[in-house]
Amino acid sequence: MDLNRYHKHGECIVMHRSMAVVAGLAAALLTPSAPAAAADPAVCHVGYVTNGDPWSFNGQITITNTSGLTLYGWTLRFALPAGQTLRSGWEATFTVTGQEVTAKSLAYNSDVLSGKSVSVGFHASGDVKGPYPAEFRINDNLCTTGPV
C-alpha cells in the first residue's frame, strides 16, 4: 500500500476519528445520569374517622382511588392497635386474625373509578382515643393517609 497516496486522506480519517472520539467523550461526560428511581406513587388514599366513647367506637374508612385507573375489586388490610377489637363491619366482608383486619369489596362497590371513593365502616371495642392504625393497604399497595 502506498502511504503517500493516502496521506491526505489519512489525515482526514485521523481527524474524523479524533473528532468522533472527542464527541463521544463529551457526550458521555455531559449526559446526565439516570435519576434515582422514585418511589411508586400511592394508588390509594385512606381517610380514617372514629367516634364513640372510651369503651367502644365506630370507625369509617374512606378509600379514594388515586391510581389513574379503575380499580376492579379491592381488599383493604390494616391492623387495629393493641386494645382495640373489631366487632362488626359493613359495606365489605370483614375478617380478623389477631389485630389484622381484612375487608373485601362487595359486588356493588368493587369497582372504583379513578378519583372516586368508597367507604366502609366498623364497630370496635376499645378506646376511641387510642392510636389509629399505622398503615392501610389496598390490594397490597400502601395508601397515603389523612383527612377525608
Regarding predicted confidence, which is higher, 1 or 73?
Answer: 73
pTM of the model: 0.72
Q: Which residue has the cell 392504625?
A: 133
**Between β-strands 71-72 and 111-112, what pairing exists: parallel, antiparallel or unpaired?**
antiparallel
Per-residue pLDDT tens digits for 88-129: 999 999 999 999 999 999 999 999 999 999 999 999 999 988
Q: Is the distance from CB of 72 to CB of 113 less than 8 angstroms?
A: no
According to the model, what pLDDT value does residue 40 have? 57
The string of DSSP codes covering 44-60 is EEEEEEEEE-SSEEEEE
Q: Is the distance from CB of 65 to CB of 76 less than 8 angstroms?
A: no
Q: Going from the N-terminus, what domains does the chain have, and what CATH number goes with each?
A: 44-145 (2.60.40.290)
| Mean pLDDT of the chain, nearest integer | 81
Q: Is the distance from CB of 70 to CB of 113 less than 8 angstroms?
A: yes
d(CA 69, CA 65) in angstroms, rounded, equals: 8
The pLDDT > 90 percentage for the chain reads 65
Regarding predicted confidence, which is higher, 33 or 43?
Answer: 43
According to the model, what pLDDT value does residue 54 have? 87
Helix (H, G, I), strand (E, B) or coil at 15: helix
